[in-house]
C-alpha cells in the first residue's frame, strides 16, 4: 500500500474527487475546496491510496496533538470485499504508531434504511481492532458513533480536535455532542 499525499502530488485529486463523490452522500461531504485548503496546512492531509499504480482508495486525515482523526475513508466500489480496507487500516496504524486513531461511523442503532450496511461497517472496524468510544456525536443532524484504536479518545478531545480544524463558528453550526 502506498499513501500519496496531496502535498506530494496534486494529481491525486482527480481520483480522490471521483471516489469521494461516489462513496459519501452529498449531505455527509464537506466541500472539496475546504478539504483541499486544509490539506495545504499541517493540520490535515488528503491521501490517494495505491496498490502499485492502481488507485484503490482515499483517506482524509486530521491531526491534533497525539490524535489522527480519519475524517473520510473509502475504498473503490469495485475493489470492496477484497481486503483493501483492512490493508489500508494496517498501513495507517504502521504510519502513526505513537498516535491514537479515531473515526466516526453512522450510528448503526439509529432508525435508518441501511441498518445492515451500518452494522457491517461497525463489525469491519471492530475486526480491525477499533473499539467504541462510548459517546454519540451529531454532525449536520446525522447520528454517529466514535471508534478508536491505540487508546480511548474522549468526547472532549474529539470536540477540541474538531473545533481546531473547523473553527468555532462552523463547529457550533455542524456538531453536537
> What pLDDT, in 10s, does the model give residues 20-44?
999 999 999 999 999 999 999 999 9
For residues 5-13, give the mean pLDDT. Answer: 94
Residues 6+ apart with CB under 8 A from 142: 27, 28, 106
In a domain, 143, yes or no: yes
For residues 106-122, give the mean pLDDT. Answer: 91
Number of domains in the chain: 1
In a domain, 177, yes or no: no
Please determine, for residue 111, whether its predicted confidence score (pLDDT) is greater than 90.
Answer: no
In a domain, 94, yes or no: yes
Beta strands in the chain (DSSP E): 2-5, 44-51, 54-64, 67-75, 100-106, 131-139, 142-149, 175-176
3-state secondary structure of 144: strand
The boundaries of the domain holding residue 53 are 2-172
In a domain, 149, yes or no: yes
pLDDT over 90 percentage in the chain: 94
In a domain, 12, yes or no: yes
Amino acid 14: pLDDT = 94
The set of cell numbers assigned to 91 is 498501513
The set of cell numbers assigned to 44 is 490535515
The set of cell numbers assigned to 43 is 493540520
In a domain, 58, yes or no: yes
Please determine, for residue 76, whether its predicted confidence score (pLDDT) is greater than 90.
Answer: yes
Helix locations, 12-77, DSSP H = 12-23, 32-39
pLDDT band at 112 (very low <50, low <70, confident <90, very high): confident
Residues 6+ apart with CB under 8 A from 83: none
Residue 71's CATH number: 3.40.630.30
Please determine, for residue 78, whether its predicted confidence score (pLDDT) is greater than 90.
Answer: yes
In a domain, 112, yes or no: yes
**Quick check: 27 and 9 in contact, CB under 8 A?**
no
DSSP state of 65: T
What sign has the CA pseudo-torsion 177, 86, 127, 94?
A: negative
Mean pLDDT across the chain, nearest whole number?
96
What sign has the CA pseudo-torsion 117, 13, 2, 69?
A: negative
pLDDT band at 92 (very low <50, low <70, confident <90, very high): very high
In a domain, 16, yes or no: yes
For residues 156-166, give the mean pLDDT. Answer: 97
User: By C-alpha distance, which of 112, 164, 113, 173 is closest to 140?
Assistant: 173
Amino acid at each position: 500500500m502506498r499513501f500519496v499525499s496531496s502535498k506530494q502530488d496534486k494529481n491525486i485529486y482527480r481520483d480522490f474527487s471521483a471516489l469521494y463523490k461516489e462513496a459519501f452522500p452529498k449531505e455527509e461531504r464537506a466541500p472539496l475546496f475546504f478539504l483541499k485548503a486544509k490539506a495545504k496546512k499541517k493540520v490535515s492531509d488528503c491521501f490517494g491510496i495505491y496498490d502499485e499504480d492502481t488507485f484503490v482508495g482515499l483517506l482524509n486525515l486530521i491531526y491534533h496533538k497525539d490524535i489522527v482523526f480519519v475524517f473520510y475513508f473509502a475504498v473503490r466500489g469495485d475493489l470492496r470485499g477484497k481486503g483493501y480496507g483492512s490493508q489500508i487500516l494496517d498501513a495507517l496504524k504502521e504510519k502513526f504508531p505513537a498516535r491514537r486513531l479515531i473515526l466516526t461511523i453512522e450510528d448503526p442503532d439509529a432508525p435508518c434504511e441501511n441498518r445492515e450496511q451500518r452494522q457491517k461497517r461497525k463489525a469491519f472496524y471492530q475486526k480491525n481492532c477499533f473499539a467504541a468510544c462510548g459517546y454519540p456525536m451529531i454532525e449536520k443532524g446525522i447520528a454517529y458513533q466514535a471508534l478508536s484504536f491505540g487508546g480511548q479518545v474522549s468526547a472532549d478531545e474529539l470536540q477540541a480536535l474538531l473545533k481546531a480544524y473547523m473553527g468555532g463558528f462552523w463547529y457550533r453550526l455542524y456538531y453536537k455532542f
